[in-house]
Amino acid sequence: MSEELDKRYLERLSELFPTIAAASTEIINLQSILNLPKGTEHFITDIHGEYESFIHVLKNGSGSVKKKIDEVFGRTLSNGDKDALATLIYYPREKMALIKKTEEDMDDWYKITLYRLIEVCKQSASKYTRSKMRKALPSDFAFVIEELITEKPEVLDKEAYYNSIIDTIIEIQKAEDFIIAMSHLIQRMVVDRLHILGDIYDRGPGPDRIMDRLMTYHSLDIMWGNHDIVWMGAAAGSLQCIATVLRISARYGNLDILEDGYGINMLPLATLAMKYYGTESSECFRIKGDHGYGEHGLDKAEDDLNMKMHKAISIIQFKLEGQLIRKRPEFQMENRLLLDKIDYEKGTILLDGKEYPLKDSFFPTIDPLDPYALTEDEQAVMERLQSAFMNCEKLHTHMMFLLTKGNLFRVYNNNLLYHGCLPLDENGEFMDVDVYGEKFSGKALYEELEKYVRKAFFAVSETEREKGRDIMWWIWSSPKSPLFGKDKMATFERYFLEDPETHVENKNPYYHLLDDEKVMNHVLAEFGLGEDAHIVNGHVPVMQSSGENPAKCGGKVLIIDGGFSRAYQAKTGIAGYTLIYNSYGMQLVAHKPFTSTEDAIRKETDIHSDKIMIMNAPYRLHVRDTDDGRRLMERIGELKQLLEAYRSGQIIEKLVNRTPI
């Protein structure tokens, strides 16, 4: 920085800190913050619409609440009392409703519970400045909570002082509201920052509710997953992405997400399905998961209609994808043009020189001479759906939140975060990827793709918006996409071909190089990180039941998708991995399947979690050891320069709160 620019910057800084006293006070304040313990970071990925499981993990901070309770009460409370207190903190309103049915002396219970919550709250707030804590306090009880959880050296009889406050809370019948406020405050204080590493959407029944909750969370960032990208593409108007979103929703019996969650009318698709597939059983398109005939309220007619809608939108998807592959030869995905490889008379398909029989050869909407053309009815349905997706206010509110809080990758506190993989060749070198005529690899590939995602929503040029829409489908399904990372998406083969060899999706070399320290260090260096950093990502379920370890390369790489989605749990053997990074180090947390919120409240059954220590910090980490700490130290340096400028006469102090004579 030149001397002139340096002085100009200091003059601007002096507007914020107009006196030596103001600058000095800020230096003291920032220096004290640097010496506070590092806040807890919570990493979650591949939620896949499992709202109840996600909310429970969010409430318990992957065991962080229980840890605070143990720190406060040690052996002075029984395990049963600790479980009861933890459940109350997670679900205060619901738990108190049950307690009132059996507890004879509620006033006594309120008093005991309030004292316990106050102690847990003190412990949870101990690593924050009073200013930050005040911002977290619920407005209705801010003053009272601050009085109860902060020391008052000027109060001589502290016990009587605190007793009087608690007695008054109970007397004026505000105990329940106060317990709810304290519980929510503890939930907020135990986690300083939440990282979502992708795939909020698809498979499970509640992605819209998850998004609503994330929009109220105090501090978070999101790495986009391939399932999030396809929803973003749908919201931007990509026909291929819209068809994919509908197909996956139908496949998992979750079309009500679109109707009830986002108000998108499914009647046109249902009408089309009955018109063309009404006489056919569509067994290849049976619903996955626990939504089949006779379960969860679905009757045979609903199940049958869902299968027909599932098939109708799948055929539309294959047609639309073929159109885009032909339109964008630079995507290099011609091997996924399959409809023109079908012999419609014989009911077979020719793949890689081998002929396979189709399990289903009823294609009333496909013209063998022009297999990728939509019929007039299909075109009309897609136009209506496109309008619905592009004009759904709630959906666009959620997508704008993803764009505001989200990225394809992030470097945070010496950790590299992304959803899928960094595309590599067999030698561990970064793969060159063509993006609209230019080659990109490594970090530059992520940055270029992210630009186009944002262009789909914000570009002035319709040509650039169209490129953005098209690239989102490419990100969803291309072998060279960092969010997919497989040689093909074998959707067609899984529906129509019996031979399991045709279903295989071979992973990018990244996945079998995860234990190669040289390659992983090369990846970290590409993003400006040293060999002591970590890579944290999800996307591919960790098969714990087969003995797979989520910690790769000696703990340098952490794969934390263990299968939140119920559809994966039979294969993985668990219900998801999460990661906690606090002032003592990093811990992987393996969760057992969540039964229900009702069980958690009534039986006080938390998600059973096994913790695996990945990194013990050599000393307790403080704010000075974080990215925020480094920014604060830069600010302290600038303020010290300002002090020197004041004292040398280079910059003159400003008069503050002076009344003219």
pLDDT given for residue 129 in this prediction = 86
Token pair 């030149």 is at which residue? 2
Whether residue 155 is predicted with pLDDT greater than 90 in this model: the reply is: no
Q: Pick the closest to residue 222 from 198, 199, 202 (CA basis).
A: 198
Same domain? 142 vs 183: yes
CA separation for the pair 170, 186 (Å, rounded): 20
Place 162 in a pLDDT band, splitting at 50, 70 and 90.
Answer: confident
| 218 within domain boundaries | no
Of 66-70, 153-157, 245-249, the range with the lowest mean pLDDT is: 153-157
Domain region containing 318: 226-390+432-477
Q: What is the band of 292 on the pLDDT scale with cuts at 50, 70, 90?
A: very low
pLDDT at 147 over 90: no
Give yes or no for residue 276 having a pLDDT over 50.
Answer: yes
Residue 46 lies in a domain: yes
Residues contacting 106, CB < 8 A, separation 6+: 99, 100
Of the candidates 107, 92, 68, 86, the residue with the CA atom closest to the CA atom of residue 178: 92
Q: Is residue 307 part of a domain?
A: yes
Which of 408, 443, 477 is the endpoint of a domain? 477
Average pLDDT over residues 139-161: 77
Closest CA to 116 of 172, 177, 179: 179
| AA identity, residue 411 | V
* 315 and 246 housed in the same domain: yes
Q: For the segment 577-616, what is each residue's pLDDT rounded down to a tens digit?
A: 899 999 999 998 887 777 778 877 887 776 656 667 678 8
Domain co-membership, 167 together with 233: no
Percent over 70 (pLDDT), the chain = 92
**Does 326 have pLDDT greater than 90?**
yes
Nearest to 654 by CA among 644, 646, 638, 6: 646
Q: At which residue do the structure tokens 């759906």 appear?
A: 385
Q: Are residues 261 and 158 located together in one domain of the fold?
A: no
Residue 661 has a pLDDT of 47
Number of domains comprising the chain: 3
Which has the minimum average pLDDT: 104-113, 225-234, 368-377, 588-597? 588-597
At residue 138, the pLDDT reads 87
The top-scoring range by mean pLDDT among 288-302, 450-464, 607-621 is 450-464
Look at residue 294 and tell me whether its pLDDT is greater than 50: no
The mean per-residue pLDDT over the stretch 378-391 comes to: 98
The answer to whether residue 455 is domain-embedded is yes
Query: What angle is formed at CA 491 by the lines to CA 499 and CA 451, rounded to 5 degrees?
Result: 145
Decide if pLDDT at 295 tops 50: no
Q: Which is more confident, 34 or 538?
A: 34
What pLDDT, on a 0 to 100 scale, did the predictor assign at position 564?
Answer: 72
pLDDT at position 572 is: 56
Which of 256, 264, 267 has its CA nearest to residue 296?
256
470/548 same-domain check: no
In the predicted structure, residue 291 carries a pLDDT above the cut 70? no
Find the mean pLDDT for residues 547-574. Answer: 75
Mean pLDDT to the nearest integer, 196-208: 94
321 assigned to some structural domain: yes
More confident residue, 165 or 593: 165
- What distance in Å separates the CA atoms of residue 481 and residue 422, rounded to the nearest whole number? 9
What is the residue-averaged pLDDT of the chain?
Answer: 91
**192 and 119 in a common domain:** yes
* DSSP 8-state secondary structure symbol assigned to residue 430: B
The whole model's pTM is what? 0.93
**Which range has the worst mean pLDDT, 135-144, 163-172, 309-318?**
135-144
pLDDT grade for 2, boundaries at 50, 70 and 90: low
Q: Are residues 81 and 55 in the same domain?
A: yes
Of 127-141, 210-224, 290-304, 371-385, the one with minimum mean pLDDT is: 290-304
28 and 55 belong to one structural domain: no
**What is the 8-class DSSP label of residue 285?**
G
Q: How many residues in total does the chain contain? A: 661
pLDDT at 366: 98
Please give the pLDDT value at position 538.
86
pLDDT band with cut points at 50, 70 and 90 for residue 627: very high
In a domain, 213, yes or no: no
Regarding whether 171 and 137 lie in a shared domain, the answer is: yes
Q: Given a cut of 70, is residue 658 above it in pLDDT?
A: no
Same domain, 123 and 55: yes
pLDDT in tens, 60-72: 998 899 999 999 9
Regarding predicted confidence, which is higher, 598 or 656? 598
User: How much is the average pLDDT of 438-467?
Assistant: 97
Looking at the structure, tell me whether residues 147 and 261 fall in a common domain: no
Same domain (yes/no): 77, 175: yes
Q: What is the pLDDT of residue 614?
A: 75
Give pLDDT, residue 351.
95
The answer on pLDDT for 302 being more than 90 is: no
Query: Does 565 reside within a domain?
Result: yes
Give pLDDT, residue 484. Answer: 94
